[in-house]
Chain A
Amino acid sequence: MTTTYLFLMIAGLGLLAFFLSFQRTVRYSGPKRLRSLPHHYASLTAVWTAVPAVLLMIVWAIIEPGYLQQKIETNLPVEIAGQSAQVVELYLNKVHLAIANQVVDADPVVQSLVIAYEKAALNSRYLNTAMVLVLCLGGIVAGLSNLLFKVHARAGIERLLKVLLILCSGVAIVTTIGIVLSVLFEALRFFNAVSVFDFMFGTAWSPQTSIRSDQVGSSGSFGAVPLFLGTMLISFIAMFIAVPVGLMTAIYLSEYATPRFRIIAKPALEVLAGIPTVVYGFFAALTVAPFIRDVGESIGLSVASESALAAGIVMGVMIIPFVSSLSDDVIKAVPQAMRDGSLALGATQSETIKKVIIPAALPGIVGSVLLAASRAIGETMIVVMAAGLAANLTINPLEAVTTVTVQIVTLLTGDQEFDSPKTLAAFALGLMLFVTTLLLNIIALHVVRRYREQYE
């Protein structure tokens, strides 16, 4: 809480510094003209006031816990400090517990340590507040002295702004690194418990781990092949729907449709991509899956109520716009001269499309299909709601299969210990997912870029 107050105080002093400095600069009547506008000088004063103080607070927050810990350890009675590391550890834990819960410990030695700690913490807080105040006041004094008019305020402020802009664009890099590190780190911990080979090539997936170590089946098995196969099966069904429909849509809209139809149809189809996936999941689970099961039963097929087919079909519809709008761009980029040439030789429009335009646009189309495939592999909600949990090793679309994303969700929702192989397995699966989609994206972008260069 005190940290919040301290921050508020710094912000208030910064504002005060801004206004005082602004007033002073406006009334400035020195020997030479000022090089910057009043708000530049005022902002610089506010920066001088607030930034060093905030930096100090951050540094303080980092080093303070270590300092206080050391304070306890140096105050440990000799007879305890001399004992084994475990005893000392236990003792320190007791002290920390008493501090955290603000209770009086029965042991007088512990209590004396707690008092020493709290005294040190209070001193540290006073010192921190005092130093922050000194820095703020120093900033204000410097900003209100003639020193301010000796610097190029606008350049200083703009340099600072630029640093801020650079930091903001660095967020993208930090996010990527964050994803890679967090997923990789936890996945490595998982591979300490389960070998990579078993994970990549094992065919049995039953991730339940026991509460007690002597229970039956306590180890669990983490062979991810059924998940990979299930993911591929559902993605394949989805692509089987999305590629022909999406491609024909793109061809029709770019080659045949009147401009008016196109203007209406294109955004209308893109609505399909804007519908949240949880809505598709609901539709797949409650409408499409029962429908497929009923149809299958009426012609004598046994269909699981959470069949791969239902999830795949709905996912296919969802990614139609991804295929169609990207392919549409690519087809439109094919030079008009190629069309004219083919038509002039007497080919019909469909022959031109099939023999000239599609081959010319093929790299771009492949790129769009790869992007759609990566979308299908990473799609979560449709499969969580409409595909099953049972890890069946099958390629029969009428049976229930499970996917990588479904397992990540099931492993990580609900309360469990974060260190068990069960939760860590989710990160290993996440790593696989990230690497696969990343590769698909890189290949797709590369293909599309190469293709664009060809016609530019």
Chain B
Amino acid sequence: MNNTEIVKAGLRKRYAREKRFQFYGKAAVMSGFIFLIFLLFDITSKAVPAFSITEILLDIPMDRVALNLSNDESLGVNDADLTSIDYAGLIKKSLRAQFPEVTKRKDKKRLYQLISSGAEFELRRQLADNPRLIGGEPLSVWFKADDDIDTFYKLERVTSRIKPEQIEFIESLKIQSRIRTALNWDFFTNSDSREPEQAGIKGALLGSFWTLLVTLMVSLPVGIAAAIYLEEFAPQNRLTDFIEININNLAAVPSIVFGLLGLAVFINFFGMPRSAPLVGGLVLSLMTLPTIIISSRAAIKSVPPSLKEAALGLGASHMQMVFHHVLPQAMPGVLTGAIIGMAQALGETAPLLMIGMVAFIVDVPGGALDSATVLPVQIYLWSDSPERAFTALTAATILVLLAFLAVMNALAIMLRTYFERQR
């Protein structure tokens, strides 16, 4: 056998090996995709129930006797009257009127559990908005159902948390078409709550907004300034090298360590308030600073030297050249990096847990010094809750967060392609 024959004898095996190797490669790429699609599909399917809510129609008597007000109509309605009304009692009464056959104490209790505990506040709000209703015809109001009833009605899943009597009530309501599912707007307009049917993400959204605002206002100017210095002015010496090593290492430090820094320095040493977006924003800006510096440097470096030389040749000082010509040219790249850094900061959770942004906060934060939580932390908090309905809320919040991230990244890509075409 000569060499050619030896090679030919092994060829089939070698080609088979080649095919197999290529298949492994394809499988690896595909497995990443499949996982991504499965993840998105799983979260979306879990999130769907959170966007609708079950409501029950009740007729609330509005005559002044039922409301326990004085019978004299000429007196009108004042704030004290609004406070004196027993809203929870009214709702219970109308539930009893709806189901007159329920007499046993235990059954009554189950009946009352159909309606969300927030219903009385809803009723009060309606009357406060429109006091003329008082003394008029009975008022028909769609009240939110309790979260267990909601889960049962929407998903038709019987759990141990729902009682057979309650299923009968729901069937009866269904026949009278007094139960429906509606869009859950409260998910976007309410803040956190212990009751899943009343919980929303407005507080977390605004907390994220204030935190990101602080992050942007600190990290963008500092990042650009550092990038300009390192790229345009810094002499080649030990100090510059040291700064560069530091930036590269900071980019790889685990985010939780930044949280420890924030806790020890900002909160314990400087005595800043816990849970405040100000501290969260400062910690996140230290974390995103390396990203912004590195991308800004790349953008500054890509400005053609001919432009700089032309500016210098016309008599501009070094500083004028940088601020009048290099920086405007590099700005799209800088902004792209900044948006990507902000997207990172928006999704970050661990350091914020360290500085106390995990508290249960009902109030919507009105500024960077109020106690607040942010979207990812809200996801973490809700995913820990035992109520089933919170799982759907968690998944829905994840979708909102992912939507924001997608928009930010799309913006960055658009910005880049737009300015690349301009050049």
Chain A residues with a Cβ under 8 A of chain B: 154, 158, 161-162, 164-166, 168-173, 175-176, 178-179, 182-183, 185-186, 244-249, 251-253, 255-257, 265, 268-269, 271-272, 274-279, 281-283, 285-287, 317, 320-321, 346, 348-351, 353-354, 371, 374-375, 377-381, 384-385, 405, 408-409, 412-413, 418, 426-427, 430, 433-434, 437-438, 441-442, 445
Q: Verify A165–B257 contact, CB threshold 8 A.
A: no
Residues on B with C-beta less than 8 A from A430 are 256-257, 260
Residues on B with C-beta less than 8 A from A158 are 317-319
Docked pose: A283 CA to B391 CA in angstroms: 11
Q: Verify A412–B354 contact, CB threshold 8 A.
A: yes
Let me know if B348 is at the binding interface, CB within 8 A: yes
Assuming the contacts A287-B42, A418-B268, asked whether A175 and B256 have C-beta atoms less than 8 A apart, the reply is: no
Shortest distance from the beta carbon of A288 to any chain B beta carbon, whole Å: 9
Docked pose: A195 CA to B295 CA in angstroms: 44
> 3 tightest CB-CB pairs across the interface, nearest first?
A378-B254, A276-B347, A252-B25
Assuming the contacts A279-B398, A378-B254, asked whether A272 and B317 have C-beta atoms less than 8 A apart, the reply is: no
Residues on B with C-beta less than 8 A from A252 are 22, 25-26, 28-29
Which residue in A171, A244, A277, A433 is a CB contact (below 8 Å) of B347? Answer: A277
Tell me what chain A mostly uses at the interface: helix, strand, loop, or mixed. helix
Residues on A with C-beta less than 8 A from B265 are 178, 182
Q: Verify B18–A380 contact, CB threshold 8 A.
A: no
Docked pose: A296 CA to B319 CA in angstroms: 66
Q: Verify B261–A279 contact, CB threshold 8 A.
A: no
Please provide the chain B residues from 347 to 399 with a CB less than 8 Å away from any CB of chain A in the complex.
Answer: 347-350, 353-354, 356, 358, 376-377, 379-380, 383, 391, 394-395, 398
Q: Verify B353–A176 contact, CB threshold 8 A.
A: no
Which residue in A178, A287, A380, A441 is a CB contact (below 8 Å) of B249? Answer: A441
Shortest distance from the beta carbon of A248 to any chain B beta carbon, whole Å: 4
Q: Verify B405–A176 contact, CB threshold 8 A.
A: no
Residues on B with C-beta less than 8 A from A320 are 32
Shortest distance from the beta carbon of B259 to any chain A beta carbon, whole Å: 8
Assuming the contacts A245-B28, A252-B28, A276-B405, asked whether A154 and B256 have C-beta atoms less than 8 A apart, the reply is: no
Let me know if B253 is at the binding interface, CB within 8 A: yes
Q: Verify B43–A272 contact, CB threshold 8 A.
A: no
Residues on A with C-beta less than 8 A from B221 are 168
> Which residue in chain A gives the minimum CB-CB distance to B39?
A283
Residues on A with C-beta less than 8 A from B318 are 158
Let me know if B185 is at the binding interface, CB within 8 A: no
Q: Verify A405–B354 contact, CB threshold 8 A.
A: no
In the complex, which of the residues A166, A317, A349, A371 has the most CB atoms of chain B within 10 Å of its own CB atom?
A166
Residues on A with C-beta less than 8 A from B223 are 168
Docked pose: A434 CA to B379 CA in angstroms: 27
Docked pose: A173 CA to B243 CA in angstroms: 6
Let me know if B302 is at the binding interface, CB within 8 A: no
Please provide the chain B residues from 245 to 291 with a CB less than 8 Å away from any CB of chain A in the complex.
Answer: 246-250, 252-258, 260-261, 263-265, 268-269, 286, 289-290
Let me know if B226 is at the binding interface, CB within 8 A: yes
Docked pose: A185 CA to B261 CA in angstroms: 11
Assuming the contacts A173-B246, A179-B257, A274-B343, asked whether A413 and B42 have C-beta atoms less than 8 A apart, the reply is: no
Which residue in A154, A251, A285 is a CB contact (below 8 Å) of B25? Answer: A251
Q: Verify B25–A248 contact, CB threshold 8 A.
A: yes
Q: Verify A353–B21 contact, CB threshold 8 A.
A: yes
21 contacts between A and B (CB under 8 A): A162-B233, A162-B319, A165-B229, A170-B243, A179-B260, A185-B264, A245-B32, A252-B29, A269-B33, A275-B402, A275-B405, A276-B405, A277-B347, A348-B17, A374-B252, A380-B349, A405-B254, A413-B356, A413-B358, A426-B260, A427-B260
Residues on A with C-beta less than 8 A from B29 are 248-249, 252-253, 257, 265, 269
Residues on A with C-beta less than 8 A from B349 are 276-278, 380-381
Q: Verify B376–A276 contact, CB threshold 8 A.
A: yes
Shortest distance from the beta carbon of A184 to any chain B beta carbon, whole Å: 10
Which residue in A172, A247, A434 is a CB contact (below 8 Å) of B289? Answer: A172
The number of chain B residues with a CB under 8 A from chain A is: 83
Q: Verify A173–B242 contact, CB threshold 8 A.
A: yes
Q: Verify B264–A182 contact, CB threshold 8 A.
A: yes
Docked pose: A380 CA to B353 CA in angstroms: 11
> Which residue in chain A gives the minimum CB-CB distance to B222?
A168
Residues on A with C-beta less than 8 A from B269 are 182
Q: Verify B254–A433 contact, CB threshold 8 A.
A: yes
Shortest distance from the beta carbon of A309 to any chain B beta carbon, whole Å: 16
In the complex, which of the residues B28, B376, B405 has the most CB atoms of chain A within 10 Å of its own CB atom?
B28
Which residue in A275, A379, A433, A445 is a CB contact (below 8 Å) of B257? Answer: A433
Docked pose: A386 CA to B134 CA in angstroms: 53
Shortest distance from the beta carbon of B42 to any chain A beta carbon, whole Å: 5
Docked pose: A182 CA to B319 CA in angstroms: 37
Assuming the contacts A172-B293, A350-B21, A412-B263, asked whether A286 and B243 have C-beta atoms less than 8 A apart, the reply is: no
Which residue in A169, A248, A348, A381 is a CB contact (below 8 Å) of B380? Answer: A381
Residues on B with C-beta less than 8 A from A354 are 21
Docked pose: A161 CA to B353 CA in angstroms: 37
Residues on B with C-beta less than 8 A from A371 are 252
Docked pose: A185 CA to B263 CA in angstroms: 13
Q: Verify A279–B18 contact, CB threshold 8 A.
A: no
Let me know if B111 is at the binding interface, CB within 8 A: no
In the complex, which of the residues A165, A173, A384, A433 has the most CB atoms of chain B within 10 Å of its own CB atom?
A165
Docked pose: A247 CA to B28 CA in angstroms: 9
Residues on B with C-beta less than 8 A from A165 are 225-226, 228-229, 233
Residues on A with C-beta less than 8 A from B317 are 154, 158
16 new A-B contacts at CB < 8 Å, known A274-B343, A282-B394, A437-B257: A165-B229, A179-B258, A182-B261, A245-B28, A248-B24, A252-B26, A274-B405, A278-B377, A279-B43, A279-B398, A282-B43, A282-B383, A286-B391, A378-B254, A408-B354, A433-B257
Docked pose: A441 CA to B377 CA in angstroms: 28
Residues on A with C-beta less than 8 A from B347 are 274-279
Q: Verify A433–B256 contact, CB threshold 8 A.
A: yes
Which residue in A176, A247, A418, A434 is a CB contact (below 8 Å) of B246? Answer: A176
Docked pose: A241 CA to B401 CA in angstroms: 27
Let me know if B409 is at the binding interface, CB within 8 A: yes
Docked pose: A248 CA to B21 CA in angstroms: 9
In the complex, which of the residues A246, A256, A275, A353 has the most CB atoms of chain B within 10 Å of its own CB atom?
A275
Docked pose: A321 CA to B29 CA in angstroms: 11
> Which residue in chain B gives the minimum CB-CB distance to A405?
B256
Q: Verify A437–B252 contact, CB threshold 8 A.
A: yes
Q: Verify A272–B17 contact, CB threshold 8 A.
A: no
In the complex, which of the residues A166, A245, A272, A282 has the most CB atoms of chain B within 10 Å of its own CB atom?
A282
Q: Verify A172–B247 contact, CB threshold 8 A.
A: yes
Residues on A with C-beta less than 8 A from B376 are 276, 278, 381
Shortest distance from the beta carbon of A70 to any chain B beta carbon, whole Å: 22
> Which residue in chain B gives the minimum CB-CB distance to A410?
B353
Which residue in A169, A247, A353, A378 is a CB contact (below 8 Å) of B226? Answer: A169
Assuming the contacts A175-B261, A248-B25, A278-B349, asked whether A380 and B36 have C-beta atoms less than 8 A apart, the reply is: no
> Which residue in chain A gives the minimum CB-CB distance to B290?
A172
Docked pose: A281 CA to B379 CA in angstroms: 10
In the complex, which of the residues A257, A277, A374 has the most CB atoms of chain B within 10 Å of its own CB atom?
A277
In the complex, which of the residues A283, A285, A317 has the most CB atoms of chain B within 10 Å of its own CB atom?
A283
> Which residue in chain B gives the minimum CB-CB distance to A408?
B256
> Which residue in chain A gives the minimum CB-CB distance to B287?
A175
Shortest distance from the beta carbon of B150 to any chain A beta carbon, whole Å: 19
Assuming the contacts A244-B28, A348-B14, A378-B254, asked whether A172 and B395 have C-beta atoms less than 8 A apart, the reply is: no
Which residue in B229, B248, B286, B394 is a CB contact (below 8 Å) of A169? Answer: B229
Residues on A with C-beta less than 8 A from B354 are 408-409, 412-413
Docked pose: A276 CA to B405 CA in angstroms: 9
